């Protein structure tokens, strides 16, 4: 008779706390058994009592429980909790942010600092293009196409190749698939990406990037040297190494020196985000050939050398 009374108290299909849908991430330790979880389940209101949980799993196989994190709630029944614990665990994803303008080497350094790769692994694949590419890339490296975004990654299963391919797919989804038909006849995709990478570094205000793009394209189309100082920083180990930057700035043999060498730099100088890519694709024409930024990062255009020099004096920019 007492067994029947116990059975009546163990309803595996009754909500443990009716109406409570609060999500709880319950972690099953490695090697844990269904029986051994009873106390912790009760403490988190995921079982009515330890003896009821143990009685329930006597007639319901709990050997399927998987180690890891599982999403459950007190509003579930013991049967639903068991099903959840037997399901696929929640991946241990962590956010990883690729900052706008970061170079291949910067991404490699950040991934290595996390301990997810050996330093140089990302550089090797990205510079050799040794991945499956979802679209044609004419650049000698993948610089410029590794879309800056916050990605959720699973450190324990991190794959450098898969991550790069994911970045390329994101580039395709965010930019290329929406704008492929808008590429002008005289500019290929790589030219747009290289220009966008310079805009990312040259103009801090995204709203001003189309006008800066117009100035730089105008210089290029009129056989002017671009004169974008940021390009001379690209090969530096430390972007802000001023001494090394000044050496590059005066070196006519430095391939990324756009003051002394004509045309676009050999590759993008970083990985631009959507505002820079769209600005490079849709530049705004203006009367300006020159520009500078004041101490508050405000944009000031100049129609000619005289106006540019006047701006330099006015805003103390040398």
Q: pLDDT digit string (tens) for 99-128? A: 999 999 999 999 999 999 999 999 999 999
Residues 12, 152: one domain? Answer: no
In terms of domains, do 134 and 279 share one? yes
Higher pLDDT, 205 or 6: 205
Share of the chain above pLDDT 90, in %: 91
Q: Based on the fold, state whether residues 56 and 137 are members of the same structural domain.
A: no
In a domain, 293, yes or no: no
Q: How far apart are CA 116 and CA 163, in angstroms?
A: 11
Is residue 224, in this structure, part of any structural domain at all? yes
Q: What is the pLDDT of residue 90?
A: 82
Residues 111 and 225 occupy one common structural domain: yes
Residues spanned by the domain of 223: 96-286
Number of domains in the chain: 2
Residue 295 lies in a domain: no
Q: In this predicted model, what pLDDT tens digit does every residue of 215-232 receive, in sequence order?
A: 999 999 999 999 999 999
Is 143 among the domain residues?
yes
**Do residues 124 and 212 both lie within one domain?**
yes
The verdict on 16 and 115 lying in the same domain is no
172, 135 contact by CB (below 8 A) = yes
Residue 145: count of CB within 10 angstroms of its CB: 27
- Determine, yes or no, domain membership for 256: yes
Residue 35 has a CB neighbour count (10 Å cut-off) of 12
CB atoms within 10 A of CB 315: 15
Contact 141, 126 (CB under 8 A): yes
Q: Are residues 35 and 165 in the same domain?
A: no
How far is 1 from 181, CA to CA, in rounded Å?
79
Q: Are residues 78 and 106 in the same domain?
A: no
Q: Are residues 135 and 12 in the same domain?
A: no
- The 3-state DSSP class for residue 297 equals coil
Q: For residue 312, tell me if it sits in a domain.
A: no
Residue 121 domain-assigned (yes or no): yes
Q: What is the CATH number of the domain that holds 78?
A: 3.30.1490.480
Residues pairing with 97 in the sheet:
150
Q: How many CA atoms lie within 13 A of 101 on its CB side?
A: 15
What H or E segment, with its residue span, contains residue 208? none
CA distance 114 to 246: 32
- Do both 29 and 101 map to the same domain? no
Q: Residues with Cβ < 8 Å from 5, sequence gap 6 or more? A: none
Q: What angle do CA 298, 301, 305 make, to 5 degrees?
A: 135
Residue 210 lies in a domain: yes
Q: Kindly report whether the global pTM for this prediction surpasses the value 0.85.
A: no
Contact between 104 and 143 under an 8 Å Cβ cutoff? The reply is yes
């Amino acid at each position: 008779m007492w067994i029947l009374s116990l059975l009546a108290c163990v309803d595996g299909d009754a909500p443990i706390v009716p109406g409570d849908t609060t999500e709880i991430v319950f972690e099953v330790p490695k090697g844990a058994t269904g029986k051994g979880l009873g106390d912790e389940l009760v403490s988190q209101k995921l079982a009515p009592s330890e003896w009821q949980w143990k009685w329930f799993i006597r007639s319901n196989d709990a050997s399927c429980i998987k180690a890891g994190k599982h999403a459950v709630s007190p509003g579930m029944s013991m049967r639903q909790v068991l099903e959840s614990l037997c399901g696929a665990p929640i991946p241990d994803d962590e956010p990883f942010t690729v900052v706008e303008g970061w170079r291949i080497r910067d991404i490699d350094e950040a991934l290595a600092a996390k301990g997810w790769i050996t330093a140089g692994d990302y550089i090797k694949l990205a510079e050799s293009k040794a991945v499956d590419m979802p679209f044609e890339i004419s650049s000698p490296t993948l610089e410029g196409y590794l879309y800056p975004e916050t990605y959720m990654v699973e450190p324990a299963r991190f794959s450098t190749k898969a991550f790069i391919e994911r970045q390329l797919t994101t580039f395709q989804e965010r930019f290329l698939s929406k704008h492929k038909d808008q590429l002008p006849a005289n500019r290929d995709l790589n030219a747009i990406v290289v220009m966008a990478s310079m805009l990312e570094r040259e103009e801090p205000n995204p709203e001003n990037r189309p006008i800066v793009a117009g100035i730089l394209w105008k210089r290029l189309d009129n056989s002017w040297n671009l004169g974008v100082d940021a390009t001379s920083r690209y090969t530096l180990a430390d972007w802000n190494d001023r001494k090394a930057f000044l050496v590059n700035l005066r070196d006519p043999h430095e391939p990324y020196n756009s003051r002394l060498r004509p045309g676009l730099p050999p590759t993008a100088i970083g990985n631009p985000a959507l505002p820079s890519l769209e600005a490079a694709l849709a530049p705004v024409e203006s009367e300006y050939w020159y520009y500078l930024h004041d101490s508050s990062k405000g944009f000031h255009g100049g129609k000619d050398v005289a106006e540019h020099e006047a701006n330099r004096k006015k805003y103390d920019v040398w």
